[in-house]
């Protein structure tokens, strides 16, 4: 594959000049659409507005929002300036947001009103009370020394906050010289995006990705899915994940296609959007496709326009794969990787059988070298022998932000990134994931690092010790299970633990299963045998008559 050496802004401008009236982004549920030329003008106006409030090259701009229309405007505007877009998980609560803002040195935070039961405006006022007393443009926060601005994505006005309407309007009247000068300095190997993901130890780390990383991964994805400008990709996966902002957005922008957007996943809105816009490509995790297939109004919609898509996040049951192909006319593939690999490492292909697509993660991305390596010897494993999945190529991250030690620990001297996942390669060159060296929990495509949940639960004064592991789930792949040892004479209930978690950590990290135990299985050297806790948890649930779903 011939690599792209362009930037996000450069590609947008190319399509805006070459096909100005072609739809770039469509929101069918609100009859909103932007052509490539309209969107490029909006991006330039926002970029100029951001420059006017002090956002510049290297500034970290956080976006804490659902898939709202201006999410992508911020992504391209920051890219043209040379700022770094930091994606913020919409499930984050104050505990997690505080850590990210401090660790990422957030300069400008862009927020919506909230998501589900979380009030983002209230959260940011609680974390940054100075917003109510300091004039805009002169914000100085004791807790967040790098923070200079908070922007509300919308037209509503809040004390101490800018909003996108005024930034875009202001930007449209400003001299374009500063923006033109910033655009001229851009290069494809600079960091454009930072996403927080759990690593091998401690709290989440900021994965630094370049234009070159994400655009070439998007290009490769689009190539083996045969994207053309005529394609319409329905995106209902979050833009704060690589699934949304790379596998979707970057495949579209490298091929001049159209993004059809759903703000938050809703099976009915997805089906209606496919029907109305005649979408040709659909992305989702297995549970999304299952919800669409089983929606009571499924037969009311014409989905025959679909031809392909990506089903990722966890392995899909072959029955579901067949149903998607037969009832949704969607020849889906799967993609494997991690945020640190931008995210594509391997993928199945359109020509693979349903069984191969349901039971393997396919073959390497074009131009990416994948190896299964013996974790003990560092030697490449023969076909059929389990080892650690490793790769090198254009997809490898620049590194972890402010964490060279962790970067060195995951990328070896030969440039191979070690995934921490165990896998095997079969005689046909397809890879299958068999387990994890790390004890990461993956629930419905969301990465959860046990240490982070454990550290949070230790704040409960009644807890002496706690271990968090993944409990198998048919629906989500894994659920969070917490094994708690109480201090002598202390009492605590499952409900009290969950109430403490609500509003403080993301919903998907709250333990579904809570076990009060006297101790943990240990090795002779005194190390906790976490892998045994999973079986102990299943046994306890079985004895209690609880069905694991």
Whether 232 is covered by a domain: the verdict is no
Do residues 426 and 453 both lie within one domain? no
Mean pLDDT of 352-360: 90
Largest CA distance in the chain: 73
Residue pLDDT, tens place only, 281-294: 999 988 899 899 99
Section 353-362 average pLDDT: 91
Q: Give the Cα separation of 247 and 206 in Å (integer).
A: 19
CA 290/CA 285 separation, integer angstroms: 9
522, pLDDT greater than 80: no
Residue 257 CA, chain-centre distance (Å), reads: 21
Is 107 part of any domain? Answer: yes
Pair type for strands 149-152 and 162-163:
parallel
pLDDT value for 436 = 72
CA nearest to 191, candidates 342, 39, 407, 28: 342
Res. 46: pLDDT tops 50: yes
| 61 bridge partner residues | 85, 108
Q: Has residue 412 got a pLDDT over 80? A: yes
Residue carrying the six token digits 């507005």? 49
* CATH at residue 163: 3.40.50.12780
**Listed residues 171, 187, 210: the one ending a domain:** 210
257, 227 Cβ separation under 8 angstroms: yes
pLDDT at 438 (0 to 100): 67
Residue 327 lies in a domain: no
Does 201 have pLDDT greater than 60?
no
Q: Are the beta carbons of 219 and 254 closer than 8 angstroms? A: yes
CA distance 191 to 202: 24
Give domain status of residue 548, yes or no: no
pLDDT band at 397 (very low <50, low <70, confident <90, very high): very high
Average pLDDT across the chain, whole number? 94
Please indicate, yes or no, whether residues 45 and 170 belong to a single structural domain of this protein.
yes
Number of CB atoms found within 10 A of residue 362's CB: 22
pLDDT at 117: 83
Show the domain range for 119.
Answer: 8-22+31-210
Q: Quick check: 523 pLDDT over 70?
A: no
Q: Which residues pair with 364 in a beta bridge?
A: 346
User: What CA–CA distance (Å, rounded) separates 14 from 189?
Assistant: 19
Q: Is pLDDT larger for residue 433 or for residue 210? A: 210
401-429 b/e (C-beta count within 10 Å ≥ 16 → b): bebeebbeebbeeeebbbbbbbbbbeeee
pTM of the model as a whole:
0.86
pLDDT of residue 100: 97
CB of 13 closer than 8 Å to CB of 37: no
Side-chain half-sphere CA neighbours of 356 within 13 A: 19
Is the domain of 18 the same as that of 153?
yes
Looking at residue 199, what is its pLDDT?
44
Specify the length of the chain in residues: 549
In a domain, 268, yes or no: no
Quick check: 482 and 512 in contact, CB under 8 A? Answer: no
Does 325 map to a domain?
A: no
| Measured distance CA(197)–CA(87) in Å, rounded | 10
* Predicted local distance difference test score (pLDDT) of residue 200: 40
Indicate whether 511 and 527 sit together in one domain: yes
* CATH number where 347 lies: 2.30.38.10
Section 49-77 average pLDDT = 98
291 within a domain of the structure (yes/no):
no
Q: Is 503 found in the same domain as 376?
A: no
pLDDT at 198 over 80: no
Contact 40, 21 (CB under 8 A): no
Alpha carbon separation from 53 to 25, 113, 139, 201 (Å, rounded): 27, 21, 11, 37
pLDDT for 500-521, tens place per residue?
A: 999 999 999 999 999 999 999 8
Model confidence at 95: pLDDT above 70: yes
pLDDT at site 455: 84
User: Read out DSSP for 425-489?
Assistant: E-TTS-EEEEEESS--EEETTEEE-HHHHHHHHTTSTTEEEEEEEEEEETTTEEEEEEEEEEPTT
| 300 contacts 265 by C-beta, under 8 angstroms | no
DSSP 136: T
- Of the three residues 419, 436, 453, the one that is the final residue of a domain is 436
At what angle are helices 177-184 and 36-52 packed, to 10 degrees? 100
Q: How confident is the model at residue 444 (pLDDT cuts 50, 70, 90)?
A: confident
Which among 195, 183, 109 has a CA at the least distance from the CA of 398?
195
What CATH number corresponds to the domain at position 537? 3.30.300.30
The verdict on 421 and 513 lying in the same domain is no
Token digits of residue 390: 């490793």
Pair (425, 447) in one structural domain: no
How many structural domains are present in the chain? Answer: 3
> What sign results for the dihedral spanned by CA atoms 341, 342, 347, 349?
negative
Q: Are 139 and 165 in contact (CB under 8 A)?
A: no
Lookup: tokens for 248: 């979707």
Q: Which of 254, 430, 421, 418 is nearest to 333 (CA)?
A: 430
Output the CA angle 163-168-174, nearest 5 degrees: 125
Q: What is the pLDDT of residues 209-248, one digit of tens each?
A: 999 999 999 999 999 999 999 999 999 999 999 999 999 9
Same domain, 495 and 396: no
Within-domain flag for 146: yes
Domain boundary among 154, 185, 210: 210
Is there a single domain that holds both residue 123 and residue 147?
yes
Is 298 exposed, middle or buried (CB count within 10 Å of its CB: 0-12, 13-18, 19+)?
middle
**For residues 307 and 407, what is the distance between their CA atoms, to the nearest angstrom?**
39
Return the sign of the alpha-carbon dihedral for residues 189, 193, 196, 197. Answer: negative
Alpha-carbon distance 426 to 386, whole Å? 10
Q: Measure Cα distances from 294 to 63, 299, 358, 396 in Å.
A: 33, 10, 19, 38
Six token digits for residue 385: 């022998």
Same domain, 384 and 464: no
pLDDT category at 525 given cuts 50, 70, 90 is very low
Q: Which residue has the higher pLDDT, 198 or 371?
A: 371
Same domain, 95 and 12: yes
In angstroms, rounded to a whole number, what is the distance separating the alpha carbons of residues 352 and 41? 41
At 314-331, the pLDDT tens digits run: 767 788 889 999 999 999
Examine the pLDDT at 260 and tell me if it is beyond 90: yes
450-494, pLDDT tens digit by residue? Answer: 888 988 998 999 998 899 999 998 888 899 999 999 999 999 999
Are 389 and 498 in the same domain?
Answer: no
């Amino acid at each position: 594959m011939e690599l792209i050496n362009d930037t996000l802004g450069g590609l947008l401008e190319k399509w805006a000049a070459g096909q100005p009236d072609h739809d770039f982004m469509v929101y069918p549920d609100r009859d909103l659409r932007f052509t490539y030329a309209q969107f490029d003008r909006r991006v330039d106006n926002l970029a100029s507005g951001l420059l006017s409030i002090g956002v510049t090259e290297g500034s970290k701009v956080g976006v804490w929002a659902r898939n709202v229309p201006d999410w992508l405007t911020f992504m391209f505007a920051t890219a043209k300036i040379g700022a770094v877009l930091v994606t913020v998980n919409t499930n984050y609560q104050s505990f997690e947001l505080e850590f990210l803002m401090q660790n990422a040195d957030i300069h400008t935070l862009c927020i919506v009103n909230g998501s589900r039961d979380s009030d983002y405006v209230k959260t940011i006022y609680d974390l940054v009370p100075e917003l109510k007393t300091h004039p805009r443009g002169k914000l100085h926060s004791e807790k967040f020394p790098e923070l200079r601005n908070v922007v509300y994505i919308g037209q509503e006005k809040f004390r101490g906050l800018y909003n996108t309407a005024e930034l875009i309007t202001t930007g449209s009247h400003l001299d374009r010289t500063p923006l033109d000068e910033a655009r001229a300095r851009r290069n494809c190997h600079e960091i454009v995006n930072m996403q927080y993901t759990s690593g091998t130890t401690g709290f989440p780390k900021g994965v630094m990705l370049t234009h070159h990383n994400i655009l070439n991964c998007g290009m490769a994805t689009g190539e083996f899915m045969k994207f053309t400008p005529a394609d319409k990709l329905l995106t209902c996966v979050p833009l704060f994940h690589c699934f949304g902002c790379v596998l979707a957005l970057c495949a579209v922008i490298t091929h001049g296609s159209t993004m059809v957007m759903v703000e938050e996943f809703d099976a009915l809105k997805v089906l209606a959007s496919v029907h109305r816009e005649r979408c040709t490509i659909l992305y989702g995790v297995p549970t999304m496709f299952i919800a669409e297939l089983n929606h009571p109004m499924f037969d009311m919609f014409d989905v025959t326009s679909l031809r392909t898509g990506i089903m990722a996040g966890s392995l899909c049951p072959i029955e579901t794969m067949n149903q998607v192909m037969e009832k949704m006319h969607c020849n889906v593939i799967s993609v494997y990787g991690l945020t640190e690999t931008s995210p594509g490492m391997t993928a199945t292909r359109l020509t693979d059988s349903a069984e191969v697509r349901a039971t393997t993660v396919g073959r390497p991305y074009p131009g990416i070298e994948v190896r299964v390596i013996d974790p003990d010897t560092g030697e490449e494993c023969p076909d059929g022998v389990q080892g650690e999945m490793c790769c090198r190529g254009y997809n490898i991250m620049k590194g972890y932000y402010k964490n060279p030690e962790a970067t060195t620990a995951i990328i070896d001297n030969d440039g191979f990134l070690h995934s921490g996942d165990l896998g095997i390669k079969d005689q046909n060159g397809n890879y299958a994931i068999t387990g994890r060296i790390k004890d990461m929990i993956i629930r419905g495509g969301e990465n959860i690092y046990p240490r982070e949940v454990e550290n949070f639960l230790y704040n409960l004064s009644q807890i002496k010790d706690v271990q968090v592991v993944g409990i198998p789930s048919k629906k989500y792949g894994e659920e969070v299970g917490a094994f708690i040892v109480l201090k002598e004479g202390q009492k605590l209930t499952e409900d009290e633990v969950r109430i403490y978690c609500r509003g403080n950590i993301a919903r998907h990290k709250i333990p579904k299963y809570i076990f009060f135990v006297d101790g943990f299985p240990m090795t002779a050297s005194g190390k906790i045998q976490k892998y045994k806790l999973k079986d102990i948890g299943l046994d306890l649930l079985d004895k209690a008559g609880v069905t694991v779903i």
